Structure 1
Amino acid sequence: MPHQVHLLIIGVTFGLVLGILIVCLIFFCIRCYKKDSNIRQSANDASVTTDTSVTTLPIRTNGLETSIDFSASITSSTTMSRSENVQKDSNFSCWSRQSKDRFAKSPGIPKYSYKEIQKATQNFTTRLGQGSFGTVYKATMPTGEVVAVKVLASNSKQGEKEFQTEVLLLGRLHHRNLVNLVGYCVDKGQRILAYQFMSNGSLENILYGEERKLSWDERLQIVFDISHGIEYLHEGAAPPVIHRDLKCANILLDHSMRAKVADFGLSKEEVFDGRNSALKGTYGYMDPAYISTNKLTMKSDIYSFGIIIFELITAIPPHQNLMEYIGLAAMDHDGIDGILDKQLVDNCNIGEVRQLAKIGHKCLHKSPRKRPPISVVSQGISSIKQRRQRHHAIEEIMSLANSRAESMNRSVD
């Protein structure tokens, strides 16, 4: 009997100790879980403010036609608490670790140190302009290749996302009508992108500048090149990519005036998940259907391309009531003639202009479903270009025949 009591006491004691250990373990696990959840929630609140933001912050502040991210919230630096600053630093270090891991999956893109970029730009002396998230400089790489270097502004929150998007997307996107990414830098707190140098700058600067005039042949070639760049994004890339910020400022021209689509910071891979997309883009180029519904599709790019088509025809920028002029011109079969760029009057084939305007009108249809896919748009532009080439060939034959006839007449005389 005493032996059984002794065993019972031992068993009860062991059970109590075991129970206490289990309770302590459960309490510890719950505490760790809550702490981890709070950290993740804080990081998400600091780095992603897509659907909960009320006030908006423009990515650029250097002109009327600036890219806007309507999902980025404004936070006053004077009211930021010490804990928020610590949180921001921890988020940046976390982003840096993630970006290194993700960029490793982008083969073929060289990574440069800050010193190498500094040397290539001669300590950032030759400034080319203002990019979507920082300043652009001219640089000569060790290989002798001339490139354009974009440096992320230190106070640009959205720029970090743009930087990551461009590296990851352009690591797998390669086409003759897309600006190539030739390198990047994540070093000493700096994020830098190096692109192939486009000597003739942006279409916006040339179209609205005074230094150079664009002929009708050049404009037709440019719109042809842009369509092929978009066609690759929509139908050649896997998964398809929506550019999201197509505009004249993001179309660059090389030494031969061949156009390439640039600036993929706001681009997004097409995902059929039924979710609404944060509103991003540029006023005047943004699809009204996208603005009203927040549903981003490839047809939003088609709308933006339609605006570019009419800019090339009229040389009227979107912020100068371009859509009103287009609407008035649509009321008359020959209405486009009245808003034709003065530089093209008597210097173009008006029939070809009307055909291109008809394609532009289809791209700007109010209903995204009724807008043609980019392959159809590209085919239509290609047909105009082919007829243009045949017209030139006939003109050359006629000119040659006339010159021969004149030489024969002179020999007879």
Structure 2
Amino acid sequence: MVHNGDLVIGICVGLALGILIAVLAFFSLRWYKKHAYLQRSANERSVPTHPLRINGFGTSTEFSAPFSNAVAVKGSEYPQKSSQVSWWSHHSKDRFASASGLPRYAYKDIQKATQNFTTILGQGSFGPVYKATMPTGGVAAVKVLASNSNQGEREFQTEVRIALTTFIKSEVLFFLTKSNPRVSLLGRLHHRNLVNLIGYCVDKGQHMLIYEFMSNGSLANLLYSEGQVLGWEERLQISLDISHGIEYLHEGAVPPVIHRDLKSANILLDHSMKAKVADFGLSKEEVFDGRNSGLKGTYGYMDPAYMSSNKLTMKSDIYSFGIIIFELITAIHPQQNLMEYVNLAGMSHDGVDEILDKQLVGACNIEEVRELAKIGQKCLHKLPRKRPSIGEVMQAILKIKQRRLAKEDTMSFAAGEYSRMMSRIEVQQIELSKLAGINGE
């Protein structure tokens, strides 16, 4: 007969063995995963790099992984000799590249580059934006998170998540997931018509985002400041540039991204007047999770359908773009009753002629203005489903541009033919004069 004491001892020994086996299995699994991770890392360092993203109109195809100390942005628009992402010397011990290739900078380096944060470019809900000049000669814009900005903290996280050029697997991911557990996967966007993130700083309690510098400022400043005159051809090209940027967000990014705060103040222009979409602090990936995130945007640009339903879609960005189109046509700010003027102009075929920016009167092709206004009207349709997609908008603007170029080519050809014809007539007249002189002798 088995004694109770022996039974208890047997059970205890069995439990102990079971626990021991479980612990050994656990640590063996951890060791295996760590070994596999190290092996993958070694393999990544030894194999050639491969493009991570090739989709989307105008997308850079030169993002690669893994990365060295260089910044991930290496598209054709950023030649090495004048690259804005050269930044501080590669020998700086305080600067290091994250696993993504996006550099992280020390606070003291940015403090020096901004001359102790003295050259301010602007101010937003995120915080102040400073101009930074590096020893290499490159220039950048540094957005500093205001210490008392709760909204700015969220926008900082969103901008990093939306704007980073690749998946982050190291310090930035740790920082974001620590402060916001919901952030587990970071986006990656790069396009010639988006203002690109080229670095960041999380140091000494400061959070900063470092962007390429846009020397001509915002579209809003160009339209509404005295002394600045944007010609019609420039405005048409700006509208096309903006559509390219939005087209990438809506149709090129995976998953699609809704900007959520499109406005003329968030359209920046570089030294060559190329327009780029900026400020992704309120952006949202198009993932419908059913949660109510509250209205976000800027009064005058917000889609009325979004305001009434709190349902955000890509057609909300289309509405905002329609507003920007009419800003380009009229130079009337949305908060100065722009929509009232637009609605009145929509009552007749040539109604837009009455609200055309005075600086454009007599200095533009009025038919092109009317065509662009028609596109803007479609973007502002009350029913979101009746609004065109950004691809359709882009193609419509492109057609206006192509007709303009074709007309210029035709006129140039006609002018050339006229010039050649006049030259021939002059030659013939000279020959006739010579013949007349000979006959007179």
Partner of 2:433: none
Separation in structure 2 between the aligned mates of residue 272 and residue 123 of structure 1, nearest angstrom: 43
1:289-339, Cα deviation, whole Å (9 max, x unpaired): 111111111110000000000000111110111101111111111111111
Task: Identify if the C-alpha distance between structure 1 residues 295 and 277 changes in structure 2 by more than 3 Å, giving closer, same or farther.
Answer: farther
1:156 and 2:149 correspond: yes
What is the CA distance between 1:409 and its match in structure 2?
Answer: 4.7
8 A Cα contact 1:284 1:319, kept in partner: yes
- The one-letter code sitting in structure 1 at the alignment partner of 2:299 is Y
Q: Determine which of 269, 286, 309 is the counterpart of 1:253.
A: 269
1:128 and 2:128 correspond: no
- The one-letter code sitting in structure 2 at the alignment partner of 1:128 is L
1:159-194, Cα deviation, whole Å (9 max, x unpaired): 011111111211110000000111111111111111
Partner of 1:180: 196
1:74-108, Cα deviation, whole Å (9 max, x unpaired): xxxxxxxxxxxxxxxxxxxxxxxxxxxxx967x23
Partner of 2:140: 147
Partner of 1:308: 324
Q: Determine which of 350, 370, 374 is the counterpart of 1:334.
A: 350
Q: Determine which of 372, 378, 382 is the counterpart of 2:394.
A: 378
Separation in structure 1 between the aligned mates of residue 293 and residue 382 of structure 2, nearest angstrom: 19
Partner of 1:291: 307
8 A Cα contact 1:276 1:296, kept in partner: no
1:105-161, Cα deviation, whole Å (9 max, x unpaired): 7x2321111001001111112221213411111112344321011111111111011
1:265 and 2:259 correspond: no
What is the CA distance between 1:275 and its match in structure 2?
Answer: 3.2
Which runs of 5 or more residues in structure 2 are unaligned? Answer: 9-96, 165-187, 431-441
How much is the aligned-residue C-alpha RMSD, in angstroms? Answer: 2.0
1:266-302, Cα deviation, whole Å (9 max, x unpaired): 0010112233331000000000011111111111000
Partner of 1:351: 367
Partner of 1:365: 381
Separation in structure 1 between the aligned mates of residue 424 and residue 128 of structure 2, nearest angstrom: 62
8 A Cα contact 1:131 1:150, kept in partner: no
Separation in structure 1 between the aligned mates of residue 232 and residue 421 of structure 2, nearest angstrom: 30
8 A Cα contact 2:258 2:314, kept in partner: yes
Separation in structure 1 between the aligned mates of residue 406 and residue 389 of structure 2, nearest angstrom: 26
What is the CA distance between 1:346 and its match in structure 2?
Answer: 1.1
1:118 and 2:134 correspond: no
Q: Partner of 2:211: helix, strand, or coil?
A: strand
When structure 1 is superposed on structure 2, of 272-281 and 364-373 the one drifting more is: 272-281
8 A Cα contact 1:275 1:295, kept in partner: no
The correspondence of residues 216-255 of structure 1 with structure 2, limited to 5 A, is 216-255=232-271
8 A Cα contact 2:125 2:151, kept in partner: no
Separation in structure 2 between the aligned mates of residue 385 and residue 395 of structure 1, nearest angstrom: 15
- The one-letter code sitting in structure 2 at the alignment partner of 1:263 is D
- The one-letter code sitting in structure 1 at the alignment partner of 2:372 is L
What is the CA distance between 1:405 and its match in structure 2?
Answer: 4.0
1:228-251, Cα deviation, whole Å (9 max, x unpaired): 100000000000000000000000
When structure 1 is superposed on structure 2, of 241-250 and 183-192 the one drifting more is: 183-192
- The one-letter code sitting in structure 2 at the alignment partner of 1:202 is S
8 A Cα contact 1:307 1:360, kept in partner: yes
1:362-381, Cα deviation, whole Å (9 max, x unpaired): 10000111111111111111
When structure 1 is superposed on structure 2, of 341-350 and 241-250 the one drifting more is: 341-350
- The one-letter code sitting in structure 2 at the alignment partner of 1:153 is A
The correspondence of residues 318-329 of structure 1 with structure 2, limited to 5 A, is 318-329=334-345
8 A Cα contact 2:98 2:104, kept in partner: no
8 A Cα contact 2:375 2:393, kept in partner: yes
Partner of 1:215: 231
- The one-letter code sitting in structure 1 at the alignment partner of 2:401 is K
Separation in structure 2 between the aligned mates of residue 215 and residue 159 of structure 1, nearest angstrom: 36
What is the CA distance between 1:215 and its match in structure 2?
Answer: 0.8
Q: Partner of 2:297: helix, strand, or coil?
A: strand
8 A Cα contact 1:277 1:295, kept in partner: no
Number of residue pairs aligned between Structure 1 and Structure 2: 314
What is the CA distance between 1:204 and its match in structure 2?
Answer: 0.3
TM-score normalised to structure 2 length = 0.68
Q: Which has the higher contact order (CA 8 A, sep 6+)?
A: 1
Q: Partner of 1:200: helix, strand, or coil?
A: coil
Q: Partner of 2:104: helix, strand, or coil?
A: coil
Partner of 1:396: 412
What is the CA distance between 1:343 and its match in structure 2?
Answer: 1.1
- The one-letter code sitting in structure 2 at the alignment partner of 1:114 is Y
Q: Partner of 2:311: helix, strand, or coil?
A: coil
1:197-242, Cα deviation, whole Å (9 max, x unpaired): 1110000000111232111110010000000100000000000000
8 A Cα contact 1:270 1:297, kept in partner: yes
1:170 and 2:163 correspond: yes
Task: Identify if the C-alpha distance between structure 1 residues 143 and 131 changes in structure 2 by more than 3 Å, giving closer, same or farther.
Answer: farther
Q: Partner of 2:131: helix, strand, or coil?
A: strand
Separation in structure 2 between the aligned mates of residue 407 and residue 166 of structure 1, nearest angstrom: 62
- The one-letter code sitting in structure 2 at the alignment partner of 1:345 is V
Which runs of 5 or more residues in structure 1 are unaligned? Answer: 1-6, 15-102
What is the CA distance between 1:408 and its match in structure 2?
Answer: 4.4
8 A Cα contact 2:121 2:131, kept in partner: yes
Separation in structure 1 between the aligned mates of residue 115 and residue 368 of structure 2, nearest angstrom: 47
